[in-house]
A and B are shown apart, each in its own frame.
Chain A
Amino acid sequence: MLLRILGKSLARRRGRIAFAVISVVMGAAVITALLAVSMDVEQQVAADFRKYGANLVVVPQSDTIEVGFPGVTFGSVTEQGYIEEEDVWRIMRISWRTNILGFAPFLYSVVRADSETASQDVVLAGTYFDRDVEILDRYSSSDPEAITTGVSVINAWWLSKGKWIDRSDDYRSALVGVNVADKMGLEIGDTFTISFKTHGDGNMTTSEITVVGLVETGGNEDNQVLVNLQLAQDMTNRSGKVHTRQVDALCTGCPVDTFAEEIEGEIDYVEARTVKQLVSAEMSMLGKFEGMMAMVTMVAMAASVLGVTTTMTTSVIERQKEIGLMKSVGAERRKISLLFLSEAAVIGTIGGVLGFVAGVFLARSIGLSVFDTAVSTNILLLPVAIGISVAVAVGASILPVRRAQAVEPAVVLRGE
């Protein structure tokens, strides 16, 4: 009977109910859109930022020696330090290790490159491309025994043409920065030589390598030749040494500064520097987006509450005699409440479903126009949209329902 009363009551007041539903649709659409954008674009924005490279750079602490007399300083001499390659796995011992997506060590040297058409000095960068690094002393027994990491993991976007070096014992292949390739007339499949003259004894080491891929980053890598770390170490006689390590620890909502401190605590002779500009830009953008989301959501919710409250209050005023009649034939206050709250729930459900549909389109529009990305439809947001809409509609009906409870049948049914 309740459903019959409910259905006929709603059908009779289609216009007013439509107004309330539209109010809820507005709120539900905004919430759906912003949650969809938040879930989808936030990930994509984070991924986009990640593409720009690591956000932590680990370097050895430098011993800086002041030169001069007491009170008079001429300047300083900085001694170049190294990180031991055997310590690279230690980064996986920090408490935030699960947020580390990967890392890559780098050893830089200036070498002479000779191709068929050109000869010039270039920076040789030895690194990991795609390597399983064993974690010798795991932080937790549930941690994996090894991590697959390297440049292809943390900077996949660097490769503009060709392929990555997929074997760590491949000492005959190189990825060449686009500027180097351009100046030296190198293309994929071409072979060229690199030579390094050791300081001191003047010994010359030469390797013949083949271009397997081109790298384009818009940064220093465009002017480098990237090879397996082992090759760079052997050629420059710096076995087991690396200069820096790039760490991809970017995540939303986790403290990158803490990462740095923990890394320094784990490997006591290094400094971990956050790429603050990059991180803060990301955090700032995501933070602003979330702030905007919260604000728009509050406004939309307020509009929904106002719309539903107005409709339900009008409904109670218009139906005072009906309420009085129901009470006179035996309806207790809870049954009157049930009737009106059920109406509100129906309004919320319809509004939630329609709002979800509208929100999906709104999310796509926001995604394309603001973030230049396609936001996918997440069906899990449907129950969320309905739940929030029902809660808003029911919550907004509490005051009108109290008014309905207070209707006195003797007053409203008084004969004229």
Chain B
Amino acid sequence: MSAGIISAQGLTKVYGGGTRALDGVTIDIEEGEWTSIVGPSGSGKTTLLNILSCLDSPTDGEVIIDGTTVTGLRQDDLTVFRKKNIGLIFQQYHMVPYLTALENVMMAQYFHSIVDEEEATDVLRGVGMGHRLQHLPRQLSGGEQQRVCIARALVNEPAILLADEPTGNLDQENGRIVLELIRSLQKEGRTIIMVTHNPEISQLGDRIIEIVDGKVRSDQRTREE
């Protein structure tokens, strides 16, 4: 296994009302690893994912991603770091409703650097959406929308892919397709961190970190090295 790509040390997140979402979480994730983060609702796993994806900042603690200390960066610097290194997949898909599948992917290219329609098309084809390029989100099923979102997360070729309940709103068949996609991405060498409620899905990862009440309760590997 190669060196750790993400290192979180003593992460604490306290919200305005005094709610302590994370309480001294320390984890190290290695490059190319698929890590499942599990835990009951309100345990702090999504907060952890937000901090690791540079969408949020911890109240205390430090996050180092690929050698860069991201805690303390300004909002725009965090955005720039995120777009260069991290791809995000959401449970709710979150597509721009008036843009087609292809345009939603191209939008990520635009905010990253240069728009390349051919490349965006190829990525969509790679997730099995080549036949739905010009469809609007409302014309796509949940599974199709999630595949577009995966394509959008991949188009800028991030080293790290963070997914928050990516199959949470999908039926079994679409869930399977999405998980296979994620598996193939890991095989390509990407680091995957996935938040899930589902114990079966969590077993697909190399490692399962359980968060309870903002703390790491367990951190175990699913299979022997």
| Contact A329 B76, beta carbon cutoff 8 Å | no
**Residues 320-355 of A at the B interface (beta carbon under 8 Å):** 321-322, 324-335
Asked, given contacts A1-B106, A5-B107, whether A331 binds B79 with beta carbons under 8 Å apart, the answer is yes
**Residues 297-338 of A at the B interface (beta carbon under 8 Å):** 321-322, 324-335
CB distance from A150 to the nearest CB of B (A): 72
CB distance from A337 to the nearest CB of B (A): 11
Contacts of A416 in B (CB 8 A): 92
| Contact B115 A1, beta carbon cutoff 8 Å | yes
Interface size on B, residues (CB 8 A): 35
Q: Report Cα–Cα, A4/B98, bound state, in Å.
A: 10
| Residue picked from B91, B98, B109, most chain A C-beta under 10 Å | B98
| Contact A335 B168, beta carbon cutoff 8 Å | no
| Contact B106 A9, beta carbon cutoff 8 Å | no
Contacts of A1 in B (CB 8 A): 103, 106-107, 109-110, 115
Given contacts A5-B107, A328-B88, A329-B107, 20 further A-B contacts (CB under 8 A): A1-B109, A5-B96, A5-B103, A8-B98, A11-B98, A12-B98, A325-B94, A325-B95, A327-B79, A328-B82, A328-B94, A329-B111, A332-B79, A333-B75, A413-B55, A413-B90, A414-B46, A415-B92, A415-B164, A416-B92
| Contact B83 A330, beta carbon cutoff 8 Å | yes
Whether, in the assembled complex, A72 has its beta carbon less than 8 Å from a beta carbon of chain B, the answer is: no
Residue of A nearest to B109 (CB): A1
Q: Report Cα–Cα, A328/B109, bound state, in Å.
A: 12
Residue of B nearest to A330 (CB): B83
| Contact B103 A409, beta carbon cutoff 8 Å | no
Contacts of A414 in B (CB 8 A): 46
Contacts of B14 in A (CB 8 A): none
**Residues 368-412 of A at the B interface (beta carbon under 8 Å):** 408-410
Contacts of A408 in B (CB 8 A): 55-56
| Contact A8 B156, beta carbon cutoff 8 Å | no
Contacts of A409 in B (CB 8 A): 55
| Contact B91 A410, beta carbon cutoff 8 Å | no
CB distance from B159 to the nearest CB of A (A): 15
Contacts of B55 in A (CB 8 A): 328, 408-410, 413
| Contact A321 B94, beta carbon cutoff 8 Å | yes
Residue of B nearest to A11 (CB): B98
Residue of A nearest to B53 (CB): A328
| Residue picked from B79, B99, B165, most chain A C-beta under 10 Å | B79
Whether, in the assembled complex, B108 has its beta carbon less than 8 Å from a beta carbon of chain A, the answer is: yes
Asked, given contacts A329-B83, A332-B80, A333-B75, whether A415 binds B46 with beta carbons under 8 Å apart, the answer is yes
Whether, in the assembled complex, A2 has its beta carbon less than 8 Å from a beta carbon of chain B, the answer is: yes
